[in-house]
Structure 1
Amino acid sequence: MIRQPLPTGVILNVALAGPEDAPPAIFLHGFPESHRTWLKVAERLKDRVRMIIPDLRGFGQSDRPQDVAAYSTDTLVADIFALAEARRLDRFALVGHDWGGAVAWTAAIRGDPRLSRLAIVNSPHPAIFQRSLIEDLAQREASQYINAFRDPQMERRIAAMGFPAFFEKSFARHVDTTKLTGEDRAQYLADWRRPGALTAMFNWYRASQMVVPAMDEDAALPAWVERGVPRIKVPVRVVWGLEDKALLPVQLQGIGEVGDDVEVYPLGGVGHFAPWEAPDAVADALGPFLEQR
C-alpha cells in the first residue's frame, strides 16, 4: 500500500499489484467498500495486469472531505486521471464496480485519449440508469435507498443502530458473507468508524445529479437523457451478476448500443458484489480483455 497525494486536493490510499511492464489498469470500487473489493480478483490477475487499486476519496483509508461539492462528477473523474499521471501511466484501462463504475463510465463517455479500454462490473450506464428510474417502476422501487442515503439524518440513524447492523443491512444482505474473512469485516467496520467517514461516503449520493423519483411521482426524463450522450469509442466489457437486487436486468437493455465495441458477460447465480462472490468468473472475463495492449 502507498499513500498517493494528488493535485486534486486529496491523498488516496492505493494498493499496487502485478508486473510493472504489464498492461496497466486502474480498478475502482463502490459503496460501501474500499480497494478490498478487488483483492480476490487481483490475486488471479497478478501475473498479467499492472493493477492500481485505490480507496476512492471518502472511502477506506483515503482522505474524506466533508463538503458535498467535493464529490462532484468532475472531481471524481479528475482524481482518477491525476492518479494515472502520478503513477506515470500514459494509457490505461479502467475497471469499475458500483460507484467506481459510474466514474469509469463517465470517463469513457468523455473520450479522454488516455483511456484504452473500459471494464464494468454491475454498474449501469448513466443514461440507461436514469431512464430506468423514470420509466421502470421495479428499478425505481429498488433504488429508493438512494433517497434514504441522501437524507441528512442518515448518519445519526446509523449511529443509533450501530455499525454491525449497518454492515448487515447495507452489505451482508447483498453478498454471500462466507466469501469474506473476519479481517475483511473488521476492516470495513473500522473504516466506517473513522471520523467523518459516513458523511464522506453518503456525499457520493448527495452530489450525484441522478434523479430518483418517489414511487407515486410523475417524473419526466431529464434533458440530458433526451439529448443523448456520446458513444464510447474504446472497447467495453460489461460483467454482470444477474441476481443483483439493486440494479435489475433492465440495466442491460440497450447496453450494446452505448459504444462501438461492447461485450456483455452475464453471470448466472451471482449478485451485485460479483468480485466477492465470483472472483474466478470475474477474473476470467476481465483477464483476456485487460492484458491486450
Structure 2
Amino acid sequence: MPLRSEPDFSRVRLQDVTLHVASVGPQDGPLVILLHGFPEFWFGWRHQIDALAAAGFRVVAPDQRGYNLSSRPQDIGAYHLDRTADDVLALADSFGAEAFQVVGHDWGGLVAWRLATRSPERVRRLVILNAPHPDVFAPYARRHPSQVLRSTYVGAFQVPWLPEAGLRAADYLALREALRLSSRPGTFGAADLARYREAWAQPGALTGMLNWYRALRLKRRTEPGPVRAPTLIVWGKRDTALGSGLATESLKLCEHGEILWLPQATHWLHHEEPAQVNGVVTSFLAQ
C-alpha cells in the first residue's frame, strides 16, 4: 500500500531540538500525531497517513529525536521519556493545537503513554500499537521470566559504541534481519528497506536511536497517574519481543480503555494488516 503522494515536509524548531516532520491532510482538521518506534522513522506510518488524511484529520508524523533527519542530542538524558513527551507537546503547539490525538507504536507508544499520563488535558484520544505502559514493564518482567528472555537485547544496547558497530556491520544486516525475522514474510520489501537504510545511515543516527534504550536507567521526573483519555490498544499477538500480558496490564491503568487483539499479527501489525488497523484507528479517533 504505497503512499498516494509524498507528504509535506518541514523542520520544526523546538526548545532544544529540531524535528523533521511529515504532514498531510486538511489544515483545519483535528490534529493526529503519529509516533514511530525503533528502528523506524516517519516512513513507518506510510500505510496509515493517507487513510487518516482521507478521514479529515491533520496528520503529523515526526522523526523523533535521534532518528533520521531530526536532531541527535549527544546527552543520554536528552532521550528520557519526559523529554520526548515534551517534544510532542511542543510539536502540537507549533501546529496550533491545544488538544490533539496521538497514535504510538513501540517506543512511540511509550512516549504516548507517558504523555497521556502527564498531560491529560492535552490528549483527547490515545491509540497504542504493541507498546506497554512504561510503569508496567518492569513489574511484569519480574513476574514473567519469559519476558526477560524476550528483552535481552535491551541490556545489550546499554553498552557504549559496540551496538552501533554491530548494527552497522554488513550494510545494517542485523537491523534488516531483525525486521525480517520478527515480521510476517514479505512485510518489508526491498524498496522499504532501502528507505530505512538511508535513515539508519544518517551521521549519528544509530547512536541517537540506541540512546532511547540507554536512557531507561534514568529516573523519571513525574509520578505515574491514571490514563484518563479514551484509549484503544491494538495488539498483534505474535509479537516475539513483547508478551500479550503487557497489554492487559497496561489496560488496568486506563480509566476508559479497550484492547483489540490481532491474532495473526506480529509486532509490526500496522504494516501487516493496514486495512484493519486503519479502519479501527480511524473509527476510534473520529468518535
Alpha-carbon distance in structure 2 between the residues aligned to 1:164 and 1:204: 19
Task: Name the counterpart of 1:154.
Answer: 163
Alpha-carbon separation, structure 2, partners of 1:158 and 1:181: 19
Distance in 2 (alpha carbons) for counterparts of 1:15 and 1:135: 40
Aligned residue for 1:248?
243
Over the matched positions of the two proteins, sequence identity in percent amounts to 34
Residue 5 of structure 2 corresponds to none
- Counterpart contact for 1:242–1:268, Cα < 8 Å: yes
- Taking the aligned partners of 1:264 and 1:238, their CA distance within structure 2 comes to 5
What is the TM-score of this pair, normalised by structure 2?
Answer: 0.90
Q: Out of 2, 13, 19, which is 1:6 matched to? A: 13
Structure-2 separation of matches of 1:14 and 1:134? 38
Cα distance in structure 1, aligned partners of 2:214 and 2:181: 23
Q: CA deviation at 1:206?
A: 0.2
Indicate whether 1:38 and 2:45 are aligned: yes
Which residue is 1:238 aligned to?
233
Code of the residue aligned with 2:285 in structure 1: it is L
Alpha-carbon distance in structure 2 between the residues aligned to 1:46 and 1:104 = 20
The answer to whether structure 1 residue 264 and structure 2 residue 259 are counterparts is: yes
Check if 1:207 corresponds to 2:215. yes
Q: Aligned AA for 2:12?
A: P
Given the alignment of the two structures, is residue 20 of structure 1 paired with residue 27 of structure 2, yes or no? yes
CA distance in 2, matches of 1:183, 1:60: 17
Contact 2:21 / 2:42 at 8 angstroms: preserved in 1? Answer: yes
1:14–1:177: structure 2 CA closer, same or farther, 3 Å change rule?
farther
Call closer, same or farther: CA 1:170–1:179 in 2, change over 3 Å.
Answer: closer
The one-letter amino acid paired with 1:20 is: Q
- How far does residue 19 in structure 1 lie from its aligned partner after superposition? 2.0
Q: CA RMSD in A?
A: 1.9
Confirm or deny: 8 A CA contact 1:236 1:261 kept in the other structure: yes
Query: How do 1:37-56 residues align onto structure 2 when only pairs under 5 Å count?
Result: 37-48=44-55, 49-56=57-64
Q: Shift of residue 205 of structure 1?
A: 0.2
Q: Following the alignment from structure 2 to structure 1, what is the Cα–Cα distance between the partners of residues 33 and 167?
A: 31
- In structure 1, the partner of 2:134 is 126
> How far has the Cα of 1:127 moved from its partner?
2.1
Q: The residue matched to 1:254 in structure 2 has which SS?
A: helix
Range with greater deviation from structure 2 (93-102 or 35-44): 35-44
Aligned length: 276
> Pick from 55, 60, 76: which aligns with 2:84?
76
Q: CA deviation at 1:177?
A: 5.4
Corresponding residue number in structure 2 for 1:219: none
SS in 1 for 2:61: strand
Greater CA drift, 88-97 or 37-46? 37-46
For residues 4-42 of structure 1, what are the alpha-carbon distances to aligned partners after superposition, in whole Å with 9 as ceiling and x for unaligned?
Answer: 333322111111122223321100000000011111112
Quick check: 1:243–1:269 contact (8 Å CA) kept in 2? yes
Q: Is the 8 A contact 2:157 2:213 kept in 1?
A: yes
Partners of 2:178 and 2:85 in 1: CA distance: 25
Q: Separation in 2 of the partners of 1:179 and 1:204?
A: 25
Give secondary structure in 2 for the equivalent of 1:52. Answer: strand
- What is the aligned counterpart of 1:279 among 254, 271, 274? 274
For 1:146 and 1:291, the matched residues in 2 are separated by 36
**Who is 1:213 aligned against?**
none
Paired residues of 2:125 and 2:229 also in contact (CA < 8 A): yes
Secondary structure of residue in 2 paired with 1:116: strand
Contact 2:118 2:224 (C-alpha < 8 Å) held by counterparts: no
Q: Which residue of 2 aligns with 1:288?
A: 283
Which residue is 2:3 aligned to?
A: none
- Cα shift at 1:87: 1.0
Could you tell me which amino acid in structure 1 is paired with residue 254 of structure 2?
G
> Secondary structure in 1 aligned to 2:65?
coil
Task: Write the mapping of 1:170-209 to structure 2, written as runs, cut at 5 A.
Answer: 170-176=178-184, 178-209=186-217
Runs of 4+ in 1 over 4 A off after TM superposition: none
**Contact 1:66 1:196 survives alignment (8 Å):** no
Mind listing any 5+ residue stretches in structure 1 that lack a counterpart? Answer: 211-221
Q: Per the alignment, in what secondary structure is the counterpart of residue 5 of structure 1?
A: strand
Q: 2:116 aligns with which of 108, 112, 117?
A: 108
CA distance in 2, matches of 1:69, 1:111: 21
* TM-score of the aligned structures, taking structure 1 as reference length: 0.89
User: What is the rounded CA distance, in whole Å, between the counterparts of 1:46 and 1:68 in structure 2?
Assistant: 35
